[in-house]
Amino acid sequence: MMPEFGRKRIYQIVGVGCGALLAGSLLVRAAFGPRSERQVFLPSGSELQSGAVQVKDINLLKALPPKDRAEKLTKIAQSRESVERSRARYLLATELLAQGQASKAIQQLDKLEKDYPVMAGYVRLKRSQAYTKAGQTDKAQAEWKAVLAEHPNDAVTVEALYALGKAEPQYWDQAIAKFPAHPKTIEIVQQRLKQNPNQRDLLLLMARHGLYVEGYTKLLDRLVEQHAKQLTPADWEAIAFGYWEKQAYGKAGMAYAKAPTSPRNAYRVARGLQLGEKPGATLAYQQMIATFPKAPETGLALLRLSRIVDPKTAIAYLDQAISRFPDHAGAALLEKSKVLDALNSKEAATQTRQTLLAQYGNSDAAAELRWQLAQERAKAGDLAAAMNWVKPIPAQNPDSELAPEAAFWLGKWATRLGQHQQAQQAFEQVLTQHPESYYAWRSASMLGWEVGDFTSVRQLDPAIARPKARPPVPAGSETLHELNLLGQDADAWTLWQTEFRNPQEPSVAEQFTDGVMRLGVGDNLDGLFMISYLSERETPAEQTEYKKLKQQLGYWYALYPFPFMGEIEAWSQERQLNPLLVTALIRQESRFMPKIKSAVGATGLMQVMPETGDWIAQKINLKKFDLAEPADNIKLGTWYLDYTHEEYADNSMLAIASYNAGPGAVAGWVAEKGLGDMDEFVETIPYSETRGYVKSVFQNYWNYLRLYNPEISQKLAQVSEAHPTIQ
């Protein structure tokens, strides 16, 4: 974000349309080398002639120019009967419809439902739309009624109910009664609420199924204000979940207090009040602990409570956590040692830390303590002692977020002590166990891989391999899978709203699928959150499922998608910037949301401040621009990123830090302590936000490189089983 510096950004979605984003789609670029030799690796003419590109290779088809894509699909559609032929006809029909060629679309759709049964309802849906566009109203009506008769229990029926209900309202009543979660039903409810804003049943339907609707929180407020006395505990739970999802934690806590009694709900009462800075959090935690003394959530509640009471009382709560909840005992012991230090009970604090290491040495808290002690010894100049504290972390705490950092610094310190073999082993260990981490990139660089360093990453021009097919999603119906494979994102997302039965407690497969569906319609902020938050799953079964998911390329393609790559490629080439670095920065700044705004006004993909945009526009003689338009935003943002690179002699670390914190702040840091070891410089950046920002941008860059560059992907696969390779 620029040029407001050092402030935590709170994003507001100001309007996101259902775009044509393909999760995992991208333009394909040349191998490492001069930019003038760059090529775009798209399906070749020989591939088109030989039929090598199939409909299921949707990413390749989407990359073709419209004329070539139409020719390819036509050729497949004219082939012998097969599912590929049916898919090609369906895609041709949808493209013809979008182009306004309704009659030609009808020809492609003729009797297609018989050959393509998994998509039969959608074939009739498209045919109905085509007849409507062609002005053949009677045939359109007949098709809608055929949908109702032949697919009464399928979600596609709502499209027919919506169309028919414009003239006969009873059809809309059927949609509300049978398919309350369908987006067309939500549209119906919104229209009826405009006529009568205080209909309790309709407001409750919106509370349960309208989370994505603009103004959702205001609908909840209205429901609570107008109908609180008539709401059931189940209603309050739905309202509370809605507030919680929208991060209105204070309101969520108060609503959960009226929901059915359960450990989770009781915990969220207390936590919501605490986060929302509402009175009563302490009492709520105490009540939750007394009511559910053995619930897993109670261990976490004891930790939370210990941080908002006086130190002596805190120790009593921490002792309960230590004795009753082994999963939280390590964290409670570490917290207790800090409280004892604050009470000047140094000997007791030391004993507590010894207990932590001896009895809970595999815990994240033990890793935190070891890392803290290692840093203290390193700062004192005793690198050998620092290494001794660090060595157990990768072995005993491999799942700790500190593990890759600790192993990397073990390598750095070993290098300084001349222990080069141990250093190499440490760097390789990071790549082996934590191939997705920021420290994996730093380790690869230290090992001499051609991945760029802080001072050279700008100049690299890595080759990118386009994934052919869309990875399947693990949840949902066969029809949903087919829509996803075909790149029919809007229809897939719509269908998923009716199939996603338990959004309050989704399975791992459902949560990932939901993330992919959100990405498909451009809801990248929440989509990436749903996917990345899978790492927080707690039960052993969920962790096992999550780890299996991480072994699939589809998971990583979804977590690191490539929307707007055309614009990114064009302006990166113009500014002589590594496009993966630009993509990495955009992912961090805006999560690829083109109309997102920060609390201070930074706008769009690269979070350009309006006054900065005006200044850049004057520099490049740009008369008109719109920061919410991807091309304009990337044009201005890449100019500024080029500018920050010029300010720091193409040192990308300083340029990225400056992009976030401002050139004045970064210049001050360099002047105060010098640049020295750049890894150490990053770790000591005074602004915690900027420190995390720099690491996140370069971690993004590394992940795009390791996932999409064949050379680095294959090289990493040789040392890490945790890294899925490009097929």
How many CB atoms neighbour CB 359 within 10 A? 15
First-to-last C-alpha distance (Å) of the chain: 36
Output the CA torsion sign for 562, 563, 566, 568: negative
Short-list 474, 463, 519, CA closest to 712? 463
Asked if 333 and 343 count as a contact pair (C-beta separation under 8 A), the reply is: no
Q: What number of residues does the chain have?
A: 727
Residue by residue, DSSP assigns 623-668 as: ----TTSHHHHHHHHHHHHHHHHHHTTT-HHHHHHHHHH-HHHHHH
Question: For residue 498, which amino acid is it?
Answer: T
Q: Which residue has the tokens 């890759």?
A: 404
* Residues 466 and 60: beta-carbon distance below 8 Å: yes
User: How far are the Cα atoms of 237, 408, 599 from residue 244, in angstroms, in the given order?
Assistant: 10, 37, 20
Question: What's the rounded Cα separation, in Å, for the pair 68 and 61?
Answer: 9
How far apart, in Å, are the Cα atoms of 235 and each of 206, 220, 265? 11, 11, 13
Element (H, E) at 12: strand 12-13
With b meaning 16 or more CB within 10 Å and e meaning fewer, what string describes 23-52? bbbbbbbbeeeeeeeeeeebbeeeebeeee
Residue 678 CA to residue 454 CA, distance in Å, equals: 8
Separation between Cα atoms, residue 120 and residue 115, nearest integer Å: 8
Q: Residue 169 and residue 179: Cα distance in Å, rounded?
A: 15
Q: Are 567 and 27 in contact (CB under 8 A)?
A: no
Q: Is 187 a catalytic residue?
A: no
User: Within a 10 A sphere around the Cβ of 337, how many other Cβ atoms?
Assistant: 23
Q: How far is CA 495 from CA 160, 482, 487, 510, 527, in A?
A: 14, 11, 14, 13, 16
Virtual CA dihedral for 644, 650, 651, 657, nearest 10 degrees?
10
Nearest to 630 by CA among 582, 662, 598: 582
Q: Token pair of 291, please?
A: 């009511």
**For 603, phi and psi rounded to 5 degrees?**
-125, 140
Q: List, in sequence order, the alpha helices (H) in 434-505.
A: 438-446, 478-485, 489-499
Tokens found for residue 722: 């945790």
Assigned token pair, 516? 């992919």
> Tokens at residue 81, please?
């009967």
The token pair that represents 140 in the structure block: 């359109």
CA 321 from chain centre, in angstroms, equals 33
CA 639 to chain centre: 26
Indicate which residue of 589, 611, 646, 672 is catalytic.
589
| 533: DSSP letter | G
Query: Under 8 Å CB-to-CB from 413, ≥6 apart: which residues?
Result: 378, 383, 386, 387, 390
Q: What is the DSSP letter of 561?
A: -
Amino acid identity at 522: G
- What residues are annotated to the active site? 589
